[in-house]
Amino acid sequence: MVKNCMYLLLIFSFYSCNENKSNLISAIDFNKMIKLDKSAIIIDVRTPEEFNKGHLKNSLNVNWFDENFDENVEIFSKDLPVFVYCLSGGRSAKANEKIQSLGFKNVYELDGGILEWRKNKFPEATLNNNIDNSLSVEDFNDFIETDKVVLVDYYANWCAPCKIMEPYLNEISSQYSKNLELVRINYDENLPLVRSLEVYGLPVLQIYKDKKIMWSHVGFIEKNRVEEQLKKYIN
């Protein structure tokens, strides 16, 4: 009872103090808030195909790429809180801004998208019998559609060089977090994607800027050599 009161107080604080502002909230807080506020409108802005594979319970699919996105959103009451998410945050950030511009008073965005939700092992609903969490080319394009430089790491759990490189890649990600996004893709779990991208051999590192591949390397590489390449593209 005490915990519920505290969470309700948290929700009230969000709604009253942050009206008309963009709120990027963690998966943990997102989960708490949608559980406690039964009036919440939960919008999944991914494609119907993505939505069908797995989505948050009670969420509604309003595809960001639909030319009628504005009209589809405006059917909802603008006085109710709106919770929006996508795969990793690229589309939801744009949708968040658009929804607020349409006059919605309280809009909340899931930081890190459904991928972050899954990291926390929160439940999903599905319209299919099996949830397929493998990444598509569309998902990959969503990752690289950012103002930041993107470092893509293709790895496998059985790959020894991959395991050696992982700690320093995380260090690089933390050190350059303002200008760099690290995307790690498990080779075995995403075979259709890596094949379509013509990724062969492991480990593979790639640098993307403005959605264009700027550098690629196959095999083990030292940290300082990776940083040398990154510094060419990070402002």
**Residues catalogued as catalytic:** 86
Spatial CA neighbour of 143 closest among 97, 208, 98: 208
**Domain positions in the chain:** 2-119, 137-230
Rounded Cα gap, residues 187 and 55, in angstroms: 23
- Read off the pTM: 0.56
Structural fold of domain 2-119:
Oxidized Rhodanese; domain 1 (3.40.250)
**pLDDT at site 125:** 85
The pLDDT tens digits of the residues spanning 219-234 come to 999 999 999 999 999 9
Does the structural domain 137-230 have CATH classification 3.40.1390.10? no
**pLDDT at site 5:** 47
The pLDDT tens digits of the residues spanning 8-41 come to 444 444 444 444 445 899 999 999 999 988 889 9
Rounded Cα gap, residues 132 and 234, in angstroms: 34
The pLDDT tens digits of the residues spanning 156-201 come to 888 888 989 999 999 999 999 999 999 999 988 898 899 899 998 8
CB 56, CB 141: distance < 8 Å: no
Please check whether the two domains, 2-119 and 137-230, share a CATH topology: no
**pLDDT at site 133:** 67
